[in-house]
A = this chain, B = another copy of it.
């Protein structure tokens, strides 16, 4: 698999550099991952995606580590190898231990298994699940 051509900092436009600078400042690192360099080919997508990620992944009602675990669950289910690699690294930075990783994987595995059992057995939604508690 080959990238379509990434935008390196030294070759980036002022617009792209501004986003790269914000990524590095927010994440306290001195480089940006290939994902950002790749989508930097489209500055509008770069800015929109970064602004969204920054807003969505910031700690709130859920802490930053829980958000990384959720990200990893989606990426693992989608077989997105890059995302699994990068978010495993992010989750580790935010405190994921190997015990947490092991349990995370076990839950993801069970969820994927039962999701398919539910569809194959054509299980109808229990009446009580249709009710809202909030």
Contact = CB atoms under 8 A, between A and B. Distances in A.
A77 to B, nearest CB: 5
Contacts of A121: 3-4, 35, 38-39, 41, 105
B130 A82 contact: no
Size category, A interface: 35 or more
Main SS at interface, chain A: helix
Contacts of A132: 2, 4-5
15 contacts: A4-B88, A34-B125, A52-B52, A56-B107, A69-B69, A71-B110, A73-B73, A73-B74, A74-B111, A74-B112, A82-B118, A82-B124, A84-B119, A85-B130, A105-B116
